[in-house]
Structures are given as C-alpha cells and as structure tokens.
Amino acid sequence: MVARPSCPTMEGGIAGIFRAIMPVGTVQAVRQKYEVFRTAGGDYLVFSPSSRGSSSYHMTLVSSARVETLAVAMGKEGVTTGSLMKDSRLEKALGTRDKIAKRFDILIGLYVLAATGRAEMKKEGNNLVFTKRL
C-alpha cells in the first residue's frame, strides 16, 4: 500500500470533510465538468461525474496549501501541467514522484484555481493553458 501525504482536513476523519462544504464554482474542461467545493478546514473537494452510473462521482481532496503553491508557481505567463511538472517548487507540495499522480494533482489544483476565479483556462491546440487572473 502506498502512503498518501497527509491533508489537514483528513485528520478529523472523512466525516469532518463533509461537515460544512460550500460551493466555490464549476469548471468546464474538455470532456467533463468539475464541481469545486470548499471545506470548513479550508481545503477543496473536486467532484467529477463517473461513467459508472448517473449518480456516481469521483471525488478528489485538494489541500489549500497545494493550491497556493500552484498559484505562486503560475507566475505571469500561461502554464500547462507539462510546464509545471518541471517546476522544482512543486516537489515538496505535491508529495509524490509518480509522474501520472503528479500530473493529475497539478491539473486538479489548476481546476480549483479556475473555479475560484484566480486562473483562466483556455484550450490551445492539444494543451490546456492556465493564466493567472490579476
């Protein structure tokens, strides 16, 4: 079993995550829509529809610290998950060396920034490019 990095919200258990979630926004990506919520602890929950049933969803817990690290790493230029994969500042914040997991964590964090209005997302060719909103 692979150990996952701890998340402040998880310390209170799974029930603590759902005590008081507030909707933040929605992101329409290339293939599906992501619904983003804020937990009472300040972290984010990202839900996306599952193909397993009409009422099934995938849920990803994203720490606010990861989101803030991504916001700083974005700088003023547009970024992609590929460009952020090379950013050494993200190594500690993401807590994984697995490239697939790292790319997924970056993408979900960028979706959170888009849902909160802190980033704009555009499709350019085969890439999703995220630009910091000022």
Q: List the Cα angle 6/86/92 in 5-degree steps.
A: 25
For residue 26, which of 46, 52, 44 has the smallest C-alpha distance? Answer: 46
pLDDT digits (tens, 9 = 90+) for 53-83: 778 889 999 999 999 999 988 877 889 998 8
pTM: 0.84
Residue 46 CA: distances (Å) to CA of 35, 124, 126, 131: 6, 24, 23, 20
Per-residue pLDDT 10s for the chain (134 aa) are: 334 444 544 556 777 777 788 999 999 988 899 999 999 889 999 999 888 877 888 999 999 999 999 998 887 788 999 888 888 777 777 776 788 888 899 999 999 999 999 999 999 888 899 999 87
Query: Domain residue spans in the chain?
Result: 18-132
pLDDT at position 9 is 43
* Residue 46 and residue 34 in contact, taking contact as beta carbons nearer than 8 Å: yes
